[in-house]
Amino acid sequence: MDEWREFAGNVLGMQAVANNPDGVTRFRLDERSYRLEFEEGDTEELTRIGWEVPNAAGLDDVIARLEDDGLKVTRCSAEEAAARDVQGLAQTVDNSGFNLDFFYGQQKSVEPFISPRSASFVTDGMGLGHVVLMTPVFDDALRFYTDVLGFRLSDTMRLGPARVAFLRCNPRHHSVALIEAPEKGIHHFMVEVSEVDMVGRAHDACRDGGAGIMMDLGRHSNDEMFSFYARTPSGFGLEYGHGGVLVDDSTWTVTEIAGPSLWGHRGSMV
């Protein structure tokens, strides 16, 4: 947890929340009371993914969709929701085995977001960033995100023999991507900053000893993100980027991308 505090704050520029519930450390990226939560535990893994819906009716709708698809859904109590700073919360486990939280009404802070590295994060209307997941049930995971949750396919790719699908639920090119893999796990998550120099400064902070670099600076071919990948204290990747495209649903067409990057991103995620 100390390493995450150092990495998230002093390398990435996230703001540690002062008063955390027992056993967790939260970080702000914007006006929300927090966007990331770290739990003390024995394993280094993604605990859960939070998906925001607009309101109570939206939560009822997603619960109905999940139950129609045969998933068991837990409707959390008002107290459980309040402990997470949200008005409504429901939880399920998807067919890949990932814990998914669906919520609405997150607390908005009245205190300004103050980054320890003067970073500002691109989140407005587009959430935290994106998460890339490895799944052993690729076809079913793709069906789940599109048919059940209503995500839209942005494009596809192959990494060697493995299929990759990029999915969006707002103008961000992808909020989740799925990689066909033997076992489930998190590949990386991404946060986007508002200026290119913030990427360079975070890259310097890693090079100066803040964290290892898994893949060096480069620009992705599909979302055009200028980014690099740091190794988080938990071992998986963190993409830190700027300049991702915004998708216009009325004109976007799905393509199969020949490779992940236009240039750069040299290195390895393992």
Q: Which residues bind Fe ion (CB under 5 A)?
A: 190, 239
Amino acid at 212: G
Which run of H or E residues covers position 182?
A: none
Least separation in angstroms between residue 184's CB and Fe ion is 18
Closest contact distance (angstroms) between CB of 152 and Fe ion is 17
Please, what is the minimum distance in Å from the beta carbon of residue 12 to Fe ion? 15
Nearer to Fe ion, 80 or 224 (CB): 224
Is the Cβ of residue 103 or residue 226 nearer to Fe ion in the bound state? 226
Q: Which amino acid is at 204?
A: D
Q: Closer CB to Fe ion, residue 52 or residue 239?
A: 239
| Residue whose CB is less far from Fe ion, 92 or 175 | 175
> In whole angstroms, how close is the CB of 123 to Fe ion at the nearest point?
16
Q: How far is the CB of 237 from Fe ion (least distance, A)?
A: 8
Please give the helix or strand (H or E) that residue 214 lies within, else none. strand 213-220
**Residue with structure tokens 């500002």?**
120
Nearer CB in complex with Fe ion: 9/260? 260
Task: Note the Cα 74 to chain centre separation in Å.
Answer: 22
DSSP string, 2-59: HHHHHIIIIIT-PEEPSSPPTTEEEEESSSBS-SEEEE--SS-S---EEEE-SSHHHH
Closest among 179, 196, 197, 180 to 188, alpha carbons compared? 179
User: Length of the chain in residues, anyone?
Assistant: 270
